[in-house]
A and B are shown apart, each in its own frame.
Chain A
Amino acid sequence: MADTKRSMSVSTRAADSPALTESSAGLLRELVAHLRQNRTQLREEWARRITRAELLTAMTEEEIFAEATAVYDNYVEALETGTFEALQAYSRRLSERIIPRGVETDEVVGIVLLLRDVLARSLFNKYQDNVEKLNRILDSYEPAANRIANTVAVGFVEERERIIRQQQEAIRELSTPVLQVRERLLILPIIGVIDPQRARQLTEQLLRAIRANRAKVVVIDVTGVAAMDSGVANHLVQTVEASRLLGATVIVTGLSPEIAQTLVTIGVDLSEMATVGDLQGGIEEAERLLADRAAPTLGSLASREIAPESQR
């Protein structure tokens, strides 16, 4: 009996692939029927193993069971139809739900692989008397199961990356407010890490704000910057110089002791830069500069003097 079957299967495999796909489709149908039949038992076994492996610790047992049911049904459906769109959509939704709860990538991959193991084990048990058939069943089961595991893992990682991108964008938008304190005085508080891209964006935004607000003095506050290397320091120097080209004086405030030590140790030349200890001091200095210039030289008085002349 076994012999004839083996010879038959060999000949079928050798013969042509359509026959093979047909027979493997039949096997897959048989497989799906088996999984449907033993749904309750396999699902429970899987949930048990998830708990035992201490995966999904952020979720309660009921939640794990509920998700397990949904994943199981989607899994079987993907096996049956051979299409992964539904599963993809489900894994995306699942990721959306569980990522905020702190579920890690290894846990998600772990539970899918566990399900794969549980189902493979049940197939072993069912067909252990018929090794030939078991092999063929596994032949059609394994690629599909691997693809499912892949789909779920990729869906999870993609969702994570999407969230990270979204957050980066939010940070980027939030991170560079240029504030006008009073006429001709801007404040640029910098918070967080400065990378080259952000430094560039920061400078561009500041220069545009200087132009739009006709600022004479800018206070850049770096109290919220934890660390600074030579690259960032040079960006700062460039920002100061570019602002000067637009006619604005820059005062840098809030350099922490650590940053001051680093900058001097690595030998960044900040001698061209006006620095004041804290933001309050910086604003006081800026107002002094503005008053200095406004009184005898600049400001509305001077421009009013010129206006009639230029019309002549």
Chain B
Amino acid sequence: MEVPILRQGQYLIASIQSALTDADLSHLREALIAQVGRSRCRGVIVDVTALDVMDSFAVRTLRDIAHMARLRGAETVIVGIQPDVAFAMVQLGLTLKGVATVLDLEEGLAFLDGRTKERGLDLTKPKRPSGRG
């Protein structure tokens, strides 16, 4: 199933609507990274609210997206991880280290706003290595 990638101002929003196969996830990753450069966006939001299962491949793909997007000049934030999913993830040791995660889409937009403003105000300041420790 294709994941729609929406453009919202400076940001790209990928909203996952149903469970994805590994191939779908890889496709999402490629599409997102390609679009980051094409649209010169500053932020990527991946909304996983609809997912009630998150396996190791999905977590790795999300992490890869975050790191790759950063190389292309965009911050990534994962939004909408369900409480049960979060609990299962930490039990499996899948903690998305170094990737910003916030509660929902609204928080994600606010987070990216803060990030881009921070960078816009002071370009000489070195970028923080990770999302939010």
Binding site for B on A (CB under 8 A): 200, 203-204, 207-208, 210-211, 214, 238-239, 241-249, 272, 293, 296-299, 302-303, 305-306, 309-310
Contacts A245-B90, A297-B117; A306 near B110 (Cβ below 8 A): yes
Q: Is the CB of B83 within 8 A of A207?
A: yes
List CB contacts (< 8 Å) of B48-99 with chain A: 78-79, 81, 83-87, 89-91, 95-96
B90:A302 contact, CB within 8 angstroms: no
Judge whether A306 and B101 touch: CB under 8 Å: no
Min CB–CB distance A132 → chain B (angstroms)? 71
Task: For the complex formed, measure the closest distance between the CB of A234 and the CB atoms of chain B, giving whole angstroms.
Answer: 10
- The interface on chain B, measured as residues whose beta carbon lies within 8 A of the other chain's beta carbons, has a size of 30
Q: Are A210 and B111 touching (Cβ within 8 A)?
A: no
Contact between chains at A238 and B91 (CB < 8 Å):
yes
Contact flags (1/0) for B106-117 with A, using CB distance below 8 Å?
110111011101
Q: Choose among A211, A239, A297, A305 the residue that contacts B103 (Cβ–Cβ < 8 A).
A: A211
CB distance from A232 to the nearest CB of B (A): 15
Q: Name the prevailing secondary structure of the B interface residues.
A: helix
Q: Of all chain B residues, which has the CB nearest A237?
A: B90
Verify A298–B107 contact, CB threshold 8 A: yes
CB neighbours (8 Å) of A297 from chain B are 110-111, 113-115, 117-118
Known: A208-B83, A238-B87, A246-B86. 20 other contacts (CB 8 A): A204-B83, A238-B90, A238-B91, A242-B90, A243-B86, A244-B95, A244-B101, A245-B89, A245-B90, A245-B95, A246-B83, A246-B102, A248-B103, A297-B113, A297-B118, A298-B107, A303-B110, A306-B9, A309-B8, A310-B109
Q: Which of B111-131 contact A (CB under 8 A)?
A: 111, 113-115, 117-118
Q: List 24 A-B contacts (CB under 8 A).
A: A200-B87, A203-B87, A204-B87, A207-B84, A207-B87, A211-B103, A242-B87, A242-B90, A243-B86, A244-B101, A244-B132, A245-B101, A246-B81, A246-B101, A293-B114, A297-B110, A297-B111, A303-B109, A303-B110, A305-B113, A306-B9, A306-B106, A309-B8, A310-B8
B3-18 residues with Cβ-Cβ distance < 8 A to A are 8-9
Query: What is the distance, in angstroms, from A64's C-beta to the closest C-beta of chain B?
Result: 54
Q: Which label, helix, strand, loop or mixed, suits the secondary structure of the A interface?
A: helix
Contact of B102 among A204, A247, A296 (CB under 8 A): A247
The count of A-to-B residue pairs whose CB atoms sit within 8 angstroms is 87
Which residues on the B side are within 8 Å of A302 (C-beta)? Answer: 109-110, 113-114
Q: Report whether B83 and A210 are in contact in the complex, using a CB–CB cutoff of 8 Å.
A: yes
Closest to A305 in B: B113
CB <8 Å contact, B83 and A306: no
Nearest CB in chain A: distance from B50 CB, A? 15
A296 touches B114 (CB 8 A): yes
Partner of A303, one of B8, B83, B106: B106
Centre residue among A207, A239, A243, A248 by max chain B CB count within 10 A: A207
Contact B117 A296 (CB under 8 A): yes
Residue of B nearest to A309 (CB): B9
Q: What's the nearest-Cβ distance from chain A to residue B125, in Å?
A: 13
Instruction: Encode B7-32 as 1/0 by CB contact (under 8 A) with A.
Output: 01100000000000000000000000
